[in-house]
């Protein structure tokens, strides 16, 4: 089997991929993730997932490389990682009682033959109509400042969510495993 590399610095994606119980290594791609002017959220996520895979391929020319990126949007407005408490308060305040689409891009790049499979897997989350006190309480407990949309569904963030809709719940965390299994199969890698 070709070496499998996750082109990501995300501990959440690493944990998700480990669920498949196949050997892999992790390499941070270290690319600029700034959206391009006029670029649609889905395009940003897809471009960045592909760029991450290609960047890691420079060092691993015989590997299968998984690139991922996620862009959250509310009425067309891109919501990135808040990074600070104040930004997270602003995001959750804006999102309360509303639906956010998480565009999770996935790329599987075979560096040995330059074959690339890539697509965006959307996932919609409707947030509870939280009070200011609930937002503050959640942020103090979870501190999800490295998560697009300021909430971690795999943790206490499930309490800020009213409903979720999509084909793969892993897409919300940033690595659509259902689609990845199909992509890996096309490269001759079976999970079970």
Give CA separation, 144 vs 36, 154, 159, in Å.
Answer: 25, 11, 13
Give the single-character DSSP code of 67.
E
Q: Is 103 in a helix, a strand, or coil?
A: strand
Residue 118 structure tokens: 């890539």
Q: Which of 69, 86, 132, 167 is catalytic?
A: 69
Query: Catalytic site residue 132?
Result: no
**Closest Cα to residue 64, out of 33, 103, 104, 20?**
20
How many angstroms separate the CA atoms of 64 and 54, rounded?
Answer: 10
Name residues whose C-beta falls within 8 Å of residue 115's C-beta, 6 or more positions apart in sequence: 109, 187
Q: Is 112 in a helix, a strand, or coil?
A: coil
DSSP strand pairing (115-127 vs 64-74) = unpaired
Q: Within 13 Å, how many C-alpha atoms sit on residue 62's CB side?
A: 3
Taking the CA atoms of the chain, what radius of gyration do you get in angstroms?
17
Q: Catalytic residue numbers?
A: 69
């Amino acid at each position: 089997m070709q070496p499998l590399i996750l082109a990501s610095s995300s501990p959440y994606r690493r944990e998700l991929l480990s669920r498949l119980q196949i050997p892999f290594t992790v390499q941070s791609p270290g690319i600029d993730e700034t959206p391009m002017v006029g670029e649609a959220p889905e395009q940003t996520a897809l471009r960045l997932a592909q760029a991450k895979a290609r960047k890691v391929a420079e060092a691993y020319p015989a590997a299968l490389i998984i690139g991922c990126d996620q862009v959250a949007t509310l009425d067309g407005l891109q919501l990135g990682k808040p990074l600070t408490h104040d930004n997270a308060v602003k995001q959750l305040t804006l999102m309360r009682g509303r639906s956010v689409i998480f565009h999770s891009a996935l790329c599987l790049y075979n560096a040995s033959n330059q074959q690339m499979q890539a697509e965006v897997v959307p996932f919609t989350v409707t947030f509870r109509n939280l009070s200011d006190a609930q937002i503050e309480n959640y942020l103090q407990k979870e501190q999800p400042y490295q998560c697009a949309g300021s909430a971690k569904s795999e943790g206490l963030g499930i309490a800020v969510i009213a409903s979720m809709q999509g084909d793969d719940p892993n897409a919300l965390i940033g690595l659509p495993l259902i689609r990845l299994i199909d992509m890996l199969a096309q490269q001759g890698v079976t999970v079970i």
